[in-house]
Amino acid sequence: MQLEITGRHVEITPALREFAEEKLHKLERLLDEPLEIHVVLSIEKHRQMAEIQVKCRSAVFAGAEETADLYASIGEVVDKLEAQARRHKEKLRTRRVKHGPRSPEAAAEMEAEAAPRAPHVEPEGPPEIEARGFLVRGRGYRVKPLSPEDAVLELESTNEDVLVFRDAETDRVNVVYRRKDGNFALVEPEF
């Protein structure tokens, strides 16, 4: 911890320096990284103020407090800085969970733990078709009454690969999808 204490209209006594260092060591343990701390202590008439700025690799924390006692001002500012540091640490932790761990081994382990266990379902249809992956719910949308030709035109105008629509003539739900060869296919249900 790199500590710099500046006094404005106040002499920095060894006791004051020791008190500030002791309070700020809690902050250093909380953040677990090298800190650069600048403390400004000042006295103006009956107001005794403490301003502290803490710089670390990932953030800068600052706080100021004014009381009738310089020691109390230092203690209250350090409490504020500890709260800021806790919020910052929690933010980093949740971001790490959300965006994943840094090493590939840890990512694979987290993915294995977090992956939902889907029951095994035998695929229907020809045996050469295999079920792959997990079912991912897409966004819901209103099924429009269209002709199959209009459905193809609408699908061409979007980035989507599948369009579910209601056939305007038969009033049945149909699906048009873009094939790998670039053509379109129509799926009509049989009842």
Give the pLDDT score at 155: 80
- Nearest CA to 187 out of 163, 157, 155, 168 is that of 163
Angle at 170 (CA atoms; ends 168, 176), nearest 5 degrees: 65
Task: Give the DSSP letter of residue 18.
Answer: H
User: Could you read off the pLDDT tens digit of each residue along the chain, which spans 191 residues?
Assistant: 788 999 998 898 999 999 999 988 888 888 877 788 999 999 988 889 999 998 888 788 899 999 988 999 999 999 999 998 888 888 877 776 555 555 566 555 555 554 444 444 444 444 444 455 666 666 666 777 888 888 888 888 877 888 888 888 888 889 998 888 888 899 888 76
34's tokens: 């090298």
| Spans of all domains in the chain | 2-99, 144-187
Give the pLDDT score at 14: 92
Task: Label residue 34 exposed, middle or buried (CB < 10 Å: 0-12, 13-18, 19+).
Answer: exposed
List, as one string, the DSSP characters of 28-97: HHHHTS--EEEEEEEEETTEEEEEEEEE-SS-EEEEEEEESSHHHHHHHHHHHHHHHHHHHHHHHHHHHH
**CATH (residue range 144-187):** 3.30.505.50
Give the pLDDT score at 141: 66
For domain 2-99, give its CATH number from 3.30.70.60, 3.30.160.100, 3.40.50.620, 3.40.50.11740.
3.30.160.100
Give the pLDDT score at 41: 92
What is the rounded distance in angstroms from the CA atom of residue 97 to the CA atom of residue 191?
A: 47
Give the pLDDT score at 45: 84
Q: Is the pTM of this model over 0.75?
A: no
